[in-house]
Structure 1
Amino acid sequence: MTVGNFLLRSGVDCVVVEKRDRAYVERRQRAGVVDTRGVRMFREWGMEHVVKDSSSPAKITGGTFIDGVRYDIAFGDDESEAVFCPQQVLVRNLTTAFLEAGGDLRYEALDVAPEDLDSERPTVRYRAADGSAKAITCDYVAGCDGFHGVSRASVPAGRLTVHSHEFPYSWLSVLAEATCAPYGMAIHDHGLAARFPRGADASRLYLQVPGDATPEDWPDDRVWTEVSARFGAEAPTGPIVDKRIVPLRSVVFDPMRYGRLFLLGDAAHIVPPMSAKGIHLALYDTEVFVRALLAQVKEGDGSLLDAYSDTCLRHVWNYQAYAVWLTDLMHNAGDASYGGAFRKQIARAELRRLNESPSAIRLFNDLNAGLL
């Protein structure tokens, strides 16, 4: 939706094809942090309003709990403009802006099949909700359909190299109709815990669990007991409306294009959710792609499109390094069953440095804000 809005505002026609219906898309819960770079990007494009959500905190501030003791840490310095904006709110705002500007958005497009991607005029075929066959012939295809989408699957075998790293633990991700308190991250011998707002009376909870855990292993009572134990404070409870296991992994596909197909966001790379950089990388890819496409369409300069993959991958690997470091740090500092007692003490030494060294804090803040 960001690609579509930016292109439309720049006078370039585009069609957005979506598998689900509008109601499903706009209530689908995902991540919720738009970092400083993302906020500034939307402002530069005259769309800062899309990251506004009156039901969530305007700034990302919270506590880090270590063995039940709270340490007040501000994520980002005074220049940080990062905001909590539930992803469904961002999508809803972007959708409204796109449609109000006359955008062509086609919901319930089934059996989507990109073809002739290595030609000058690729075609995207799909089946409409009424069963009729449709075809869109275009100049370029932006694959923004996630890790399991059809875009990357349409690339012939052997044309992309995959780099991946699997972590030995997973997260239990829980969406609850409960006030977000305690608010922040908790490091505990039982494992990591996190709690973040998803509206005025809803919160997203994460609990570190073994890599082979299932949702059935975690009945609601056990979830709330463990949240309270890891934060060292009684947690407000409420109905749990969604519960799933999230594997922690890093994945990068290289290159991020094939012919006239350009891969953006999760279609090209995955970062562990500990880093909160999935949206960041997707928005970075978006701006690089749109500016490169505009240079080609308006000025006949294809050099930026040719450099698209290299430009994005340099940034992607920088944040993969950040994401892996932060994931290892926060998990090793608590549960010693994976990294051992030695790595646990190393991780805690690093946490102390983050809390005491201005240089370490400055570097962390710049990476957290998306400014490096």
Structure 2
Amino acid sequence: MTPDLSGCSPADVPARTGVVIVGGGPSGLLLSQLLHLAGIANVVLERRSRAYVLSRIRAGVLEQGAVDLLRRAGVGARMDREGLVHDGVEISFHDRRLRIDLADLTEGKTVMVYGQTEVTADLYEARDAMGGTVLHEAEHVQLHDLEGGRPFVTFRLGERYHRIECDFVAGCDGFHGVSRRSIPADRLRLFEMVYPFGWLGLLADVPPVHDELVYAGHERGFALCSMRSRTRSRYYVQCPLDEKVEDWSDDRFWTELVSRLPADIAGRLVTGPSIEKSIAPLRSFVAEPMRFGRLFLAGDAAHIVPPTGAKGLNLAASDIHYLSEALTAHYRRGDDSGLAAYSDRALARVWKAERFSWWMTTTLHAFPDRGAFAARMQEAEFDYLASSRAARQALAENYVGLPY
């Protein structure tokens, strides 16, 4: 039902725009920035406050393609100054260590360690500088006439309802957002795998234990040593889904992390008080197709990957690359071929990233009740990786990111 808009003042928000972007996280803001640079009018609607968006702790490994895209969007200056370029990654399995030389195995490609919160802050600054329209605390967002020629979006700001007519809607509002739920159930196919464990993450102002990320498989469970800067570290340990954060003191976390790391790495660990602790469940999820009429899904609205492969934000970036190119071709040349192909192009890359994240997760995590055969398979995977350059090359090319 369309809300009563009689109390709406046209001066509060634009009556019409080219693209309404639902979701003001990094994917929505990046699309807004790229469209603005192409001369395409757009409005971003975000359910939360700006402070809330910037307080979210998220991943921090950017593929080569995402780095290049941020630079093209004009938001790469601070990333290039403060980000940490990594040309390798460490994988351990029961005290055995293996370095994956990303640069050597991919003809010079690397990854950038730069937090998603920092990416979002840079995008906000760019949108402010360009006078972009980002409306926060937009509630009761509803999408209308998505299969017709005149879609529109209604929402509430404070006590007033508003309506914006548009040409297209970009759903960048995450797994729980309104965009995917606006598509009739019989028009979607959903694929999902829920893993029987989660990640307990801890953020602390301590120097990283290693100058590269360390992925550790252990009989007690998986662990990851990551960082946000040279003085701030982000660590994770696999835990059961029924665990509660309040049951994990800092001392308990550090003790468990040390037990899962190779001895030489564990011996260098610097501990300290946590800034933040949280538990995230792991799932793989894909919605097909990523288009419904004039609505296009991007990022977590369409797909979720377990964080093991560091693909969540990076997949959102490739979606935005495809979608911004398609919309630009529509407005500049009247060419709709990119819009027609968007879902297929994006999903082809999504499923490859899903495969890689699934492989990393199944290879390095302890699965309850999987038995001795599965444990031997994990050992064999690591042995093959250690003995085969081709296997390491396959890991490396997926880790730095498949081409757009």
Aligned-pair CA distance for 1:188 = 1.7
Residue 359 in 1 paired to residue 393 in 2? no
Aligned with 1:65 (options 89, 92, 97): 92
Matched, 1:268 2:317: no
The one-letter code of the counterpart of 1:131 is: E
* Structure-1 residue corresponding to 2:376: 345
CA deviation vs aligned residue, 1:284-310 (integer Å, no higher than 9, x gap): 110111111111111111121112111
1:144 Cα shift? 0.5
Q: Closer, same or farther in 2 for the Cα pair 1:59/1:46, shift >3 Å?
A: same
Q: Supply the distance in 2 between the matched residues of 1:164 and 1:266 (Cα, whole angstroms).
A: 13
Q: Using the aligned pairs only, state the percent identity.
A: 39
Residue correspondence of structure 1 range 213-362 to structure 2 within 5 A: 213-231=243-261, 232=263, 233-234=266-267, 235-331=269-365, 335=366, 337-362=368-393
What secondary structure is seen at the aligned counterpart in 2 of 1:307? helix
Match 1:79 to one of 108, 115, 123: 108
1:53 is displaced (CA, Å) by 5.3
Give 1:156's aligned residue.
Answer: 184
2:59 corresponds, among 24, 31, 34, to: 31
Given residue 230 of structure 1, which amino acid in structure 2 is its aligned partner? R
Q: Is the contact made by 1:50 and 1:94 (CA closer than 8 Å) also made in structure 2?
A: no
- Asked if 2 retains the 8 angstrom alpha-carbon contact of 1:250 and 1:269, the reply is yes
Task: Identify the residue that residue 8 of structure 2 maps to in structure 1.
Answer: none
Report the residue type matching 2:34 in the other structure: F
> TM-score, normalised to structure 2's length?
0.85
Q: Deviations over 1:186-222 (max 9, x none)?
A: 2222111112112343222211112333324423221
Instruction: Return 271-280 or 108-117, whichever deviates more.
Output: 108-117
Q: How many residues align?
A: 367
SS at match of 2:162: strand
SS, match of residue 237 in structure 1: coil
1:184 maps to: 214
Q: Secondary structure at the match of 1:162?
A: strand
Distance 1:62 1:306 in 2: 38
Asked if residue 134 in structure 1 is aligned to residue 162 in structure 2, the reply is yes
Q: Tell me the SS of whatever aligns to 1:175.
A: strand
Distance in 1 of aligned mates of 2:383 and 2:156: 56
Distance 2:196 2:374 in 1: 15
Q: For structure 2, which runs of at least 5 residues remain unmatched after alignment?
A: 1-28
Q: Deviations over 1:37-91 (max 9, x none)?
A: 212233445543363351x522254433333454443345361231011001001
- Take 1:110 and 1:251, find their aligned partners in 2: how far apart are those partners? 26
How many angstroms apart in 2 are the aligned matches of 1:19 and 1:224?
Answer: 36
Secondary structure of the 1:8 match is: helix
Amino acid in structure 2 at the alignment position of 1:192: F
1:207 aligns with 2:241: no
Deviation string 1:209-263 (CA, Å, 9 cap, x unpaired) is 1233332442322111101111132432222232222211111001111111110
Q: Check conservation: 1:63, 1:184, Cα contact below 8 A.
A: yes
Give the 3-state SS of the residue equivalent to 2:185 in structure 1.
coil
- The equivalent of 2:127 in structure 1 is 98
> 1-side partners of 2:93 and 2:189: how far apart?
40
Q: Which residue identity lines up with residue 145 of structure 2 in the other structure?
A: D
CA–CA distance in 1 between the matches of 2:74 and 2:49?
27
Distance 1:144 1:268 in 2: 9
Q: TM-score, normalised by structure 1?
A: 0.92
Question: Partners of 2:182 and 2:231 in 1: how far apart?
Answer: 41
Give the partner amino acid of 2:395. F
Query: Are the structure 2 counterparts of residues 50 and 40 from structure 1 closer, same or farther at C-alpha, using a change threshold of 3 Å?
Result: same
Task: Verify the 8 A CA contact 1:141 1:261 in the aligned structure 2.
Answer: yes
Partner AA of 1:195 in structure 2: C
Find the counterpart in structure 1 of residue 15 from structure 2: none
Is the Cα contact below 8 Å between 2:180 and 2:301 reproduced in 1?
Answer: yes
Q: Which aligned segments of 4 or more residues in structure 1 are displaced greater than 4 angstroms?
A: 44-47
CA distance in 1, matches of 2:367, 2:353: 25
Distance 2:387 2:71 in 1: 33
Deviation string, structure 1 residues 350-372 (Cα, Å, up to 9, x no partner): 22322332211222111111125
Q: 1:270 to 1:336 in 2, by over 3 A?
A: closer
Q: Measured at CA, do residues 50 and 279 of structure 1 come closer, stay the same or move farther in structure 2, by a change above 3 Å?
A: farther
Please say which of residues 221-230 and 342-351 is displaced more in the overlay.
Answer: 342-351
Choose which of 65, 69, 72 in structure 2 pairs with 1:41: 69
Residues in 2 aligned to 1:107 and 1:336: alpha-carbon distance in whole angstroms: 41
* Partner Cα distance (1:357, 1:217) in 2: 42
Contact 2:154 2:163 in 1 (8 A): yes
Which residue number corresponds to residue 51 of structure 1? 79
